[in-house]
Amino acid sequence: MAVRREFIAAAAIILVIILVAAYLATRPEEVAPAATPTTPAQTTPTGATATPTTPVGTPTTPAVKHVEIDTLRISQRADLSSIDVQVATDAPTLSVFSHVYETLFKIEFDEQGRASFKPWLVESYKQVNETVWEFKLRAGVKFHDGSPLTARDVKASFERGPKVGGLPRILLGPVKEVQVVDDLTFRLILKYPFAPLIAHLSHPSTAIIPAKVAELFPDKPIDDIKYIIGTGPYRFVEFVKGERTVLEAFEGYWGPKPTVKRIIWYPVPDDSTRVSYLEAGRADVITHVPPHLVKSLKDKGFQIVQIPSTRVIYIGINVERIPDARVRQALNYAVDKNAIVQVVLEGAGSVATAPISPAVFGYTKLDPYPYDPERARRLIREAGWEGKELVFITPQGRYLRDREIADAIKNYLEAIGLKVRIEVMEWAAYINRVTTQKDFDLFLLGWSTVTLDADYGLYSLFRTGAPFNRMLYSNKEVDAYLDMARETANPALRQQYYALAQQLIWKDAPWIFLHYEDIIVAMKPGLVKVEIQPIERWILTYAMLEVRG
Amino acid sequence: MLLNYIAYRLTLYIPTLFIILFVVFTLVKLLPGDPIRVMYGEINPPPEVEAALREKLGLDKPLIVQFLLYVYRIFTGDWGKSIATGEPVLELAVRRFTATLELTVASLAIATVVGITLAYIAAMKPNSAIDRLIGIVSMAGYSMPVFWWGLILILIFSVNLKLFPPGGREGLESLVLPALTLATVNFGIIARVSRAAMLEVSTQDFVAAARARGFSERRVMLAYVMRNAVITIVTLVGLRFGILMGGAVITETVFAYPGIGRMIVETGIFARDYPVLFGGVVFVALVVMTVNLVVDILYAIVDPRARVARG
């Protein structure tokens, strides 16, 4: 009896603590830091601030001035997954490396978030013929170890990349040979005409590393941070796994001088803790803000940047197990994509209007399949698929609310008369199964077209036999358009081919087309010129602090 | 006598370690997934890289050879390097373990002091109102879900009061909140068990005899009851210590604390960084076994019966 009474009393105490703590924790006052701007500034989504004028900055009004920053602290969800820029594929790692390494071309975004490519380490270039391009490197560029950048470094980087990394292998796949002409001049000889070349040369996986590092690790990832040597505005100075990564401005940088001296990256896996880092003033910028905390952060005066990313989330359909296009279309009609975005994602996304995102060259706006369970049921009946069981595999914790999305989809599909068996898997086991086995009907994945050219988002995923065509989809017509688009130089023509290919893919429905994920980043008040790119990359090099008076 | 006992315990150490190595090895082999694939995300790694790494890790050899090789390397101190970052695993494990050790010692120190004090007060007046109250508080403590309690402490002491950092590991102040979180869960168990132990001892004849001699209640409690209850308490604290050494993964995650538990789970399991996984688990197993050994020896020192029993 006494035990039971104690138990009830203990439960009561916990309840009281919960209530008191919840009250304390959500008390609104005394949170707004001193320098709060009167209106939480909605920073320009894509920044486009790569060229600061003077170190002091140009004041927009006489009362406001921009000052340089000594140490900027940013907290991401994940730690570096690899210390080798040519091996890494994930956004958190490539964001860090985008400060350390540089590419031949640089992506810039306009106000609408459209990308363009600007020669960067390259000063000038010309296309000699269909398959030969000649580039001239910028003179006076130095690596962090003081050695000058030469054409030999480019050759070594491009030869090593495909041997160690999956991304360089795709991005540099069309390159047959790198010919060094002189110290600063080189030629790329292609296997076939390849229009998206410049886009590929702007991706961090094609960044230039010193030839001597490439020679030390010709076929395996580098194994010590002392080999993290780039030409970028920051030197890599410290990496304590699970604790922090520290970058320091590189004195010998050839480009505009960074306005931030030191950047410290803290990996904080727990969403709520990461938000606390910002609120407690331990981080100035945090990424992957959970959507349900956006409002409270805004109310407390923090800046929120929310923009659509280039990542599309889809349910791949195993076309060999579901060969009937009517069934695949039915799956698309059965799912209310709007509801998923509004309810499951709490608005942190937008319904997909193509297999690639609007920021990508080649994007063609298509009409999403309307939510029409009646029609879906009819198509399923016509195809004779009523009551069939589908095996649906999904990862958990890889994408925003992935598991919850899968559950919602299961319910939608069961509502049209199918049976669905969900198998939730932890990422490592999941990616292995998706890649090596075909014992499932549906799978949830995301794909970010990080080159911002449709070739990477369409060719690699939808062409017959392409490496990431995990749906085993095959349509000769689509193949033909994708082939022509990659070999044609004329952008207008390419756009047309991609439009045709996307229309066919949309109709064939090898995916349940879902949504584009939003990027949500929060910053302390007064921080400006942080560039948030839709490819999930955050550039802090030219950030400044806005000070009044 | 004592030396004999220690020798006897040491001979058990080796086969236990061997069994642990075997279990860890087998379990890891049963894990689906692959370190290279994880590193490459949605992209397929180049086949040469996979093949080269497999060879380097010895994954291309027969299982029994892999196992023997693995045991050999563990014993010769070659624990390998992290696949993702190239860091030597032994160094990594030692660093991460130091962090865990700090956290464990800090939290258990708080929990033990608070727990025993409460138990002492409760055992002085069993079934009184104060005893009940302590019972309730203890139960509330160890029923607290750590991830939630940790976040609440962060919100109160870090976000609102700005007293301590919300996470990370920079200086002693970042130890406060995670240590408090773990202490909350542990003091209750220690208080409950210690109280029970003290009450049990106080019904013994020698305690009644002490009382009959007219010793003060304080002296009876400290010199007779506590002295004997300590055996149970040492065992319990040792066990809790062993458990916490494995890393308090949830607490470490909430506080972004770089302990060994998170290393094993995030790097070892999620990223399938096998050398880190093996190294981390074996390291923890060694430490826990050693702690248990020390506790048993302490036990033998505190309670001579324990050595006699083994002859």
Among A189, A220, A251, where does a domain finish? A220
Among A220, A254, A278, where does a domain finish? A220
Q: How far apart are CA B69 and CA B71, in angstroms?
A: 5
Q: Do A211 and A337 belong to one domain?
A: no
**Mean pLDDT over the full length of chain B:** 85
Confidence bin at B48 (pLDDT 50/70/90): confident
* Whole-number pLDDT of residue B50: 75
Residues A170, A456: contact at Cβ < 8 Å?
yes
Q: How far is A124 from chain B (nearest CA, A)?
A: 32
- CB contact (8 A) between residue A280 and residue B158: yes
Average pLDDT of the segment spanning A443-464: 93
Q: Do A208 and A315 belong to one domain?
A: no
Evaluate whether residue A168 is within a structural domain.
Answer: yes
Q: Do A338 and A208 belong to one domain?
A: no
Average pLDDT of the segment spanning A55-78: 78
Residues A425, A454: contact at Cβ < 8 Å?
no
Residues A47, A537: contact at Cβ < 8 Å?
no
Radius of gyration over alpha carbons of chain A, in Å? 25
Of B52, B53, B166, the CB nearest to A282: B166
Among A164, A190, A220, where does a domain finish? A220
DSSP state of A205: G
* Chain A residues whose beta carbon lies within 8 Å of the beta carbon of residue B32: 428-429, 432-433
Residue A83 has pLDDT above 90, yes or no: yes
Evaluate whether residue A388 is within a structural domain.
Answer: yes
Of B43, B83, B147, the CB nearest to A167: B43
Average pLDDT of the segment spanning B268-281: 86
State the first-to-last Cα distance of chain B, in angstroms, to the nearest integer. Answer: 8
pLDDT tens digits for range B2-31: 788 788 888 888 888 888 888 888 888 787
Q: How far apart are CA A280 and CA A275, in angstroms?
A: 9
Residues A250, A233: contact at Cβ < 8 Å?
yes
Evaluate whether residue A541 is within a structural domain.
Answer: no
Residue A187 belongs to domain spanning: 101-220
DSSP state of B161: S
CATH of the domain at A114: 3.90.76.10
* Whole-number pLDDT of residue A25: 55
* Chain A residues whose beta carbon lies within 8 Å of the beta carbon of residue B87: 241
DSSP state of A313: E
Evaluate whether residue A300 is within a structural domain.
Answer: no
Evaluate whether residue A54 is within a structural domain.
Answer: no
Q: Residue A466: closest CA among chain B residues belongs to which residue?
A: B44
ipTM score of the complex?
Answer: 0.81
Among A27, A80, A163, A272, the strongest candidate for a mutation testing the B interface, having the largest count of B CBs within 10 A, is A272
* Whole-number pLDDT of residue A37: 37
Contacts 24+ apart (CB under 8 A), B120-127: B120/B194, B120/B198, B120/B221, B120/B226, B122/B191, B122/B195, B123/B194, B123/B195, B123/B198, B123/B199, B123/B202, B123/B221, B123/B225, B124/B217, B124/B221, B126/B199, B127/A2
- Domain total in chain A: 2
* Chain B residues whose beta carbon lies within 8 Å of the beta carbon of residue A468: 42-44
* Residue A179 contacts B where some CB pair is shorter than 8 Å: no
Q: How far is B225 from chain A (nearest CA, A)?
A: 24
Evaluate whether residue A188 is within a structural domain.
Answer: yes
| Three-state DSSP state, A81 | coil
* Whole-number pLDDT of residue A412: 97
Evaluate whether residue A500 is within a structural domain.
Answer: yes
The verdict on pTM exceeding 0.80 is: yes
For chain A, give the percent of residues with pLDDT over 90.
76
pLDDT tens digits for range A17-60: 766 665 655 554 444 343 333 333 334 444 433 333 334 444 45
Q: How far apart are CA A469 and CA A459, in angstroms?
A: 9
Q: Do A196 and A323 belong to one domain?
A: no
Q: Do A315 and A428 belong to one domain?
A: yes
Q: Do A369 and A511 belong to one domain?
A: yes
- CB contact (8 A) between residue A273 and residue B155: no
Confidence bin at B222 (pLDDT 50/70/90): confident
Q: Residue B133: closest CA among chain A residues belongs to which residue?
A: A6
* Residue A280 contacts B where some CB pair is shorter than 8 Å: yes
Evaluate whether residue A469 is within a structural domain.
Answer: yes
Of B37, B41, B168, the CB nearest to A432: B37
Q: How far is A259 from chain B (nearest CA, A)?
A: 26
* Whole-number pLDDT of residue A335: 97
- CB contact (8 A) between residue B56 and residue A220: yes
CA max distance for chain A: 91
* Residue B44 contacts A where some CB pair is shorter than 8 Å: yes
- CB contact (8 A) between residue B271 and residue A81: yes
Q: How far is B295 from chain A (nearest CA, A)?
A: 31
* Whole-number pLDDT of residue B61: 80
pLDDT tens digits for range A161-218: 999 888 898 899 999 999 999 999 999 999 999 999 999 999 999 999 999 999 999 9
Rounded to the nearest 10°, the torsion over CA A137, A139, A141, A145 is 100
Q: Do A440 and A328 belong to one domain?
A: yes
Of B44, B136, B255, the CB nearest to A435: B44
Q: Residue A89: closest CA among chain B residues belongs to which residue?
A: B40
Of B37, B41, B140, the CB nearest to A90: B41
